[in-house]
Structure 1
Amino acid sequence: MEVQIISRKLITPSSPTPPHLQNLKISSLDQLAPYVYVPAIFYYAANGEEYDVKNAEKSLQMQNSLSEILALYYPFAGRCAKDDPFIECNDKGAEFFEAQVNGSLSQLFGDRELETNLKSHLAPHYFDPSNSSPLAVQFNMFECGGIAIGISLTHKIADAFTVFTFINAWTTASRFGVDQVPCPSFELASIFPPRAASRVENIVTIKAVTNNIVTKMFVFDGVAISKLKEATNFSASGSHQSLNYQVTRVKVVIALIWRCLMRLSQARHGCMRPSLMKVPVNLRGKIPQPIPENSCGNLISWAVAQFKPGDESEVKLHELVSRINSGIENAFSNYSKATGDDDLFFLVMDGFRKVSKALIENEVDVYMFGCWCRFPMYEADFGWGKPTLVCGGNSQVPR
Structure 2
Amino acid sequence: MKIEVQSKKLIKPSTPMPNHSRMLKISGIDELQPPLYAGFLFYYRADGKNQEDDIFQRLRLLEESLSETLAIYYPLAGRYVEEELFIDCNDQGVEFVHAKVNGQLDQLLRGEFDTDLLGRLSEFRMAAAGNPLVAIQVNVFECGGLVIGLCSCHKVGDMSTMAAFMKSWATACRSGIHELASPYFEMSSLFPVKGSGVKIKPPFLAGIKLTMNRFSFSGAALSRLKLAGPKDLRISRVEAVSALLCKAFITMDRAKHGRLRPLFVCQNMNLRGRVNLPIPTNAFGNFVTKVVARCTISQSSLDFEALVKMIHDMFTNAKTRFAAIADGESCMDMVKDSAREHVEGVNGDKENVVDFTSWCGFPFYDIDFGWGKPELVSNGCIPVRKIALLDSKTEGGIDAWIILSQEEKVLLVQDPDIVAFTS
| C-alpha distance in structure 1 between counterparts of 2:183 and 2:288, whole Å | 18
The answer for the alignment partner of 1:72 in structure 2 is 72
Instruction: Give deviations 1:13-60, integer Å, cap 9, x for gaps.
Output: 001111111110011000001112111111111112311110111011
| C-alpha distance in structure 2 between counterparts of 1:285 and 1:276, whole Å | 27
Please report how far the alpha carbon of residue 177 of structure 1 lies from its aligned counterpart in structure 2 after TM superposition.
1.2
The answer for the alignment partner of 2:199 in structure 1 is 203
Secondary structure of 1:8 counterpart: strand
| C-alpha distance in structure 2 between counterparts of 1:326 and 1:128, whole Å | 35
How many matched pairs?
Answer: 383
* 1:38/1:396 contact within 8 Å kept: no
Q: Percent identity over the alignment? A: 36
Instruction: Give deviations 1:311-361, integer Å, cap 9, x for gaps.
Output: 431221121111111100111111122232221111111111112222344
The answer for the alignment partner of 2:13 in structure 1 is 13
* 2:98/2:137 contact within 8 Å kept: yes
Please report how far the alpha carbon of residue 289 of structure 1 lies from its aligned counterpart in structure 2 after TM superposition.
1.0
Which amino acid is 2:131 matched to?
S
Secondary structure of 1:5 counterpart: strand
Which amino acid is 1:152 matched to?
C
* 2:134/2:153 contact within 8 Å kept: yes
| C-alpha distance in structure 2 between counterparts of 1:248 and 1:128, whole Å | 35
* 2:80/2:87 contact within 8 Å kept: yes
Give the gaps of 5 or more residues in structure 1: 237-241
Which amino acid is 2:200 matched to?
V
- Report 1:27-106 matches (<5 A): 27-106=27-106
Secondary structure of 1:294 counterpart: coil
- Report 1:1-399 matches (<5 A): 1-110=1-110, 112-114=111-113, 116-195=115-194, 199-206=195-202, 208-212=204-208, 213-232=210-229, 236=230, 242-245=231-234, 247-309=235-297, 311-395=298-382
| C-alpha distance in structure 2 between counterparts of 1:149 and 1:361, whole Å | 36
Instruction: Give deviations 1:233-291, integer Å, cap 9, x for gaps.
Output: xxx4xxxxx3232x222111111111111112122222211111111111111111110
| C-alpha distance in structure 2 between counterparts of 1:359 and 1:207, whole Å | 7
| C-alpha distance in structure 2 between counterparts of 1:116 and 1:200, whole Å | 34
The answer for the alignment partner of 1:239 in structure 2 is none
Please report how far the alpha carbon of residue 362 of structure 1 lies from its aligned counterpart in structure 2 after TM superposition.
1.8
Please report how far the alpha carbon of residue 367 of structure 1 lies from its aligned counterpart in structure 2 after TM superposition.
1.4
Which amino acid is 1:174 matched to?
C
* 2:99/2:137 contact within 8 Å kept: yes
* 1:48/1:54 contact within 8 Å kept: no
| C-alpha distance in structure 2 between counterparts of 1:331 and 1:113, whole Å | 38
Instruction: Give deviations 1:199-246, integer Å, cap 9, x for gaps.
Output: 3214333364453243222222233223222333xxx4xxxxx3232x
Which amino acid is 1:130 matched to?
A
| C-alpha distance in structure 2 between counterparts of 1:271 and 1:125, whole Å | 35
* 1:82/1:129 contact within 8 Å kept: no
Root-mean-square deviation (CA, aligned residues, Å) is: 1.7
Higher strand share: 2
1:45 to 1:270, Cα distance in 2 relative to 1, 3 A:
same
* 2:44/2:145 contact within 8 Å kept: yes
Secondary structure of 2:147 counterpart: strand
Which amino acid is 1:231 matched to?
A
The answer for the alignment partner of 2:392 in structure 1 is none
1:34 to 1:383, Cα distance in 2 relative to 1, 3 A:
same
1:312 to 1:84, Cα distance in 2 relative to 1, 3 A:
farther
| C-alpha distance in structure 1 between counterparts of 2:266 and 2:127, whole Å | 28
The answer for the alignment partner of 2:395 in structure 1 is none
| C-alpha distance in structure 1 between counterparts of 2:233 and 2:240, whole Å | 15
Which amino acid is 2:190 matched to?
I
| C-alpha distance in structure 2 between counterparts of 1:292 and 1:254, whole Å | 29
1:116 to 1:222, Cα distance in 2 relative to 1, 3 A:
farther
Which amino acid is 1:90 matched to?
N
* 1:40/1:392 contact within 8 Å kept: yes
* 2:205/2:383 contact within 8 Å kept: no
Q: TM-score, normalised by structure 2?
A: 0.86
